[in-house]
Amino acid sequence: MTTESLHVLTPKDYATDQDVRWCPGCGDYAILAQIKKVFADLGLPREKVVFVSGIGCSSRFPYYMETYGFHGIHGRALAVATGVKAANPDLSVWVATGDGDGLSIGGNHLIHTIRRNLDINILLFNNRIYGLTKGQTSPTSELGKRTKSTPWGSIDNPIHPISLAIGAEATFVARTVDVNVKHLAETIKRAAQHVGTSFVEVYQNCVVFNDGAFEYASGKETKAETTVYLEHGKPLIFGANRDKGIRLNGLTPEVVKLGGDIKEDDLLFHDEKAKEPTLAYLLARMQSPEFPEPIGVFRDVEAPCYEAEMERQLQAATAKLGPGTIEKLLNSGDTWTVSA
Partner 1 sequence: MTTETAEMTTGSHPARKPVQELEEVTVRFAGDSGDGMQLVGTQFTRSSVIFGNDVCTFPDYPAEIRAPAGTLAGVSGFQITFSSHDILTPGDKVDALVALNPAALKASLGDVRPGGVVIVNEDAFGKTDLKKAGYETNPLEDDTLKKYQLYKVPISTLNRKALEGSGLGPKEVDRCKNFFSLGVVYWLYGRPMEPTIDWLDAKFGKNPVVCEANKKVLKAGYFFGETCEYITSAFKVAKATLPPGKYRRISGNEAISLGLITAAHLAGKDLFYGTYPITPASDILHTLAMYKNYRVKTFQAEDEIAAVCAAIGASFAGALAATGTSGPGLDLKGEAIGLAVMTELPLVIIDVQRGGPSTGLPTKPEQSDLLHAVFGRHGECPLCVIAASSPSDCFDAAIEASRIAMQHMTPVILLSDGFIANGEEPWRIPDYASLPKITVTHPTESNDGNGFLPYQRDEDSVRPWVLPGTPNLMHRIGGLEKKDVSGGVCYEPENHQRMTELRATKIANIAEKLPLQTVQGPAEGDLLVLTWGGTAGAAGTAVSRVQKRGCSVAFANVRHLHPLPRNLGPILANYRQVLIPELNTGQFRFLIRGHYGIDAVGLNKIQGKPFLVSEIESKIMNLVATNGGNR
Chain mean position to CA 30: 16
Kindly state whether residue 252 participates in binding partner 1, applying the rule CB under 8 A.
Answer: no
Kindly state whether residue 193 participates in binding partner 1, applying the rule CB under 8 A.
Answer: no
Q: Which range in 29-37, 75-83, 142-150, 238-246 contacts partner 1 by CB under 8 A?
A: 75-83
Shortest distance, position 128 Cβ to partner 1, whole Å: 25
Q: Do the Cβ atoms of 31 and 205 come closer than 8 Å? A: no
**Binder among 112, 134, 148, 242 for partner 1 (CB under 8 A):** 112
Q: Do the Cβ atoms of 199 and 103 come closer than 8 Å? A: no
Q: What DSSP string describes 245-256?
A: EEEEETTEEEEE
At 198, is the secondary structure helix, strand, or coil? strand
Kindly state whether residue 326 participates in binding partner 1, applying the rule CB under 8 A.
Answer: yes
Residues 6 or more apart in contact with residue 86 via CB below 8 angstroms: 118, 306, 307, 310
Kindly state whether residue 324 participates in binding partner 1, applying the rule CB under 8 A.
Answer: yes
Q: Do the Cβ atoms of 194 and 257 come closer than 8 Å? A: no
**Binder among 23, 79, 207, 303 for partner 1 (CB under 8 A):** 79
The amino acid sitting at 1 is: M
Shortest distance, position 201 Cβ to partner 1, whole Å: 21
Kindly state whether residue 7 participates in binding partner 1, applying the rule CB under 8 A.
Answer: no
**Binder among 23, 40, 42, 45 for partner 1 (CB under 8 A):** 45
Residues 174, 178, 183, 187, CA torsion sign: positive
Shortest distance, position 113 Cβ to partner 1, whole Å: 9
Q: Give phi and psi for 243, each to the nearest 5.
A: -115, 10
CA distance 104 to 190: 26
**Binder among 36, 109, 145, 270 for partner 1 (CB under 8 A):** 109
Tally Cβ neighbours within 10 Å of residue 338.
Answer: 4
Q: Which range in 148-156, 185-193, 216-224, 308-316 contacts partner 1 by CB under 8 A?
A: 308-316
Kindly state whether residue 15 participates in binding partner 1, applying the rule CB under 8 A.
Answer: no
Residues that bind partner 1 (CB under 8 A): 1-4, 16, 18, 45-48, 50-53, 55, 62-63, 65-73, 76, 78-88, 90-91, 108-109, 111-112, 310, 313-314, 316-318, 320-324, 326-327, 329-340
